[in-house]
Each structure stands twice: as structure tokens, then as C-alpha cells.
Amino acid sequence: MMSNPSLIDIAMRALNLPRDSFSITRRPAIGHQTNRLYDVRAQGKHYIAKEYLQSGEESDCARREFDALHLLAPLDLAPQPIFFEPARGAIVIYEFLEGEMWDRRKPAPNELRALARAFLKLHELPTTDLWLSR
């Protein structure tokens, strides 16, 4: 269990639940991460809270991720966004998405087909009002 007061407050607001009705556990870091990830569990649901750590970029990166998740939400290609309020800090909360992270191995044919279908769905999105990459 972790006790970051701002993260606890954000989770309470995002989930609209009292403090004693959810748990927050910090995930082990992966070497290249510039953020901290937490498992948030409440009422049988699993969420991820991502806390951005790089100074100067936190709120911009958090905003871009939250906006991207909103853009992808109807396609079911990414986790569903739950909460982000810049005034409360660079923390994004989204639903946990089951599956495994793609590593650097050679993909199987069925994985390539699934990836191609995902890219086709992605290319159906309108590009108006998209932000520029940094």
C-alpha cells in the first residue's frame, strides 16, 4: 500500500468513493520509465494511476496521454480514460487493460494480422484538431 496524499485525493475524486473503499499499490518500475504506475482497485474494478515525474513536461505529457486515450476510446484499442485534472497534478487514471506488453520478439502471423487491424482502425480516426508531436 502507498500513501501519497495527493494520489489518494485524486483517486477519491476520480472514482467518487470514500478512502476506505479502494486500495492503491505502487507497481515495480521498469528501467526506462519517466513515471510511476500504481494499481488502484475498487469495487471489483482495476485501474492504473500514472504519475509523471519529469520536471517541466509533467502536465503536458499527462494532458497529451489523456487526450489520446479519449480519442482512442471508441475504438477499444487503448485503456479507457477515467480522470485527469491539471490543477491536481500530473496524474492520469485509466482503466486497466488486460494483456501483455509487446516485447521485441518476432511476432507470429496472427499477431501481425491483429496489429494490422488495429492500425486500420487507428487510420479511421479524423485528424482535424490533433496536436503536433514535440
Query: pLDDT per position in the chain (134 positions), as tens?
Result: 444 668 999 999 999 999 999 999 999 887 777 889 999 999 999 999 999 887 766 568 889 899 999 988 988 889 999 999 988 888 999 999 988 777 778 889 998 999 899 999 888 888 777 766 65
Domain ranges of the chain: 5-123
What's the grid cell of residue 121? 482502425
What's the grid cell of residue 48? 492504473
- Amino acid occupying residue 33: Q
Alpha helices (runs of H) in 16-125, residue ranges in sequence order:
58-72, 109-123
The CATH class of the 5-123 domain is alpha beta
pTM, two decimals, is 0.83
